[in-house]
C-alpha cells in the first residue's frame, strides 16, 4: 500500500515495484491494523491510537510502517543496493518536495523556495520530476 506523493517518488527512484492502494479516510485504521501496521500517534485524549497515512507494507520483509521519514529510512536500510533516498545531511529534500506539492509549481511560494541557495532547491526538484 502506497499513497500518492513522495513515496511514489521514492519507490520509482529506487526502482522498487509496488502496488498503490487507495484507502478512504474511514478505512485507514482497519486497513493498517489488518496489515499489522502500528498506530503512528495517539488521539488528543493521549490514549486512543491514531492511525495515519502515508503507510507502506513491504511483503518481502513483512514490514509495515507509517511516517514519511521512517519510510524513507526503511527503504534505504532494506534496499541499500538501490539508489539512496537520503544521503546523510539531506533530509531537507523531502521537505522541499512537500512545499512544492503543497503550494503548487506555479505559486509564488514555490518560486521563492526554488530560488533559495542560488536556485539549488529548484534544480534538485527538477531532477526528481521524472520520478513523479
CATH of the domain at 44: 3.40.30.10
For residue 12, with 0-12 CB atoms within 10 Å meaning exposed, 13-18 middle and 19 or more buried, which class applies?
middle
Q: Is the pTM of this model over 0.85?
A: no
Q: Is 57 helix (H, G, I), strand (E, B) or coil?
A: strand
Q: How far apart are CA 64 and CA 36, in angstroms?
A: 7
The cell numbers describing 104, all together, are 503548487
Instruction: Between 110 and 91, name the one with better pLDDT.
Output: 110
pLDDT at 116 over 80: yes
Q: Does residue 110 belong to any structural domain of this protein?
A: yes
What's the pLDDT at 67? Answer: 86
Instruction: Between 131 and 7, name the one with better pLDDT.
Output: 7
pLDDT at 2 over 90: no
- Model confidence at 126, pLDDT cuts 50, 70, 90, reads confident
Q: Does residue 86 belong to any structural domain of this protein?
A: no
Q: Does residue 84 belong to any structural domain of this protein?
A: no
Q: Is 38 helix (H, G, I), strand (E, B) or coil?
A: coil
C-alpha 28, offset from chain centre: 16
pLDDT at 51 over 90: yes
Could you tell me if 67 and 125 lie in one domain? Answer: no
Could you tell me if 17 and 72 lie in one domain? Answer: yes
Best CA proximity match to 2, nearest among 40, 58, 76, 42: 58
Could you tell me if 96 and 70 lie in one domain? Answer: no
Strand ranges (E), the chain: 41-42, 49-50, 55-58, 63-66
CB proximity list for 19: less than 8 A, separation 6 or greater? 1, 2
Instruction: Between 90 and 48, name the one with better pLDDT.
Output: 48
- Condensed to tens digits (0 to 9), the pLDDT of residues 5-48 reads 677 888 888 999 998 888 999 999 999 999 999 999 999 999 99
Q: Yes or no: say if 88 and 64 are a contact pair by the CB < 8 Å rule.
A: no
Q: Does residue 47 belong to any structural domain of this protein?
A: yes
- Condensed to tens digits (0 to 9), the pLDDT of residues 62-82 reads 999 998 878 888 999 999 999
Could you tell me if 41 and 97 lie in one domain? Answer: no
Could you tell me if 69 and 103 lie in one domain? Answer: no
The range of the structural domain enclosing residue 17 comes to 6-78
Amino acid at each position: 500500500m502506497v499513497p500518492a506523493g513522495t513515496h511514489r517518488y521514492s519507490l520509482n527512484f529506487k526502482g522498487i515495484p509496488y502496488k498503490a492502494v487507495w484507502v478512504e479516510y474511514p478505512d485507514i485504521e482497519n486497513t493498517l491494523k489488518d496489515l499489522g501496521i502500528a498506530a503512528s500517534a495517539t488521539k488528543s485524549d493521549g490514549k486512543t491510537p491514531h492511525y495515519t497515512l502515508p503507510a507502506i507494507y513491504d511483503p518481502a520483509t513483512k514490514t509495515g510502517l507509517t511516517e514519511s521519514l521512517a519510510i524513507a529510512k526503511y527503504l534505504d536500510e532494506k534496499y541499500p543496493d538501490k539508489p539512496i533516498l537520503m544521503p546523510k545531511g539531506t533530509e531537507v529534500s523531502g521537505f522541499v518536495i512537500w512545499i512544492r506539492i503543497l503550494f503548487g509549481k506555479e505559486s509564488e511560494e514555490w518560486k521563492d523556495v526554488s530560488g533559495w541557495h542560488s536556485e539549488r532547491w529548484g534544480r534538485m526538484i527538477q531532477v526528481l520530476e521524472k520520478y513523479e
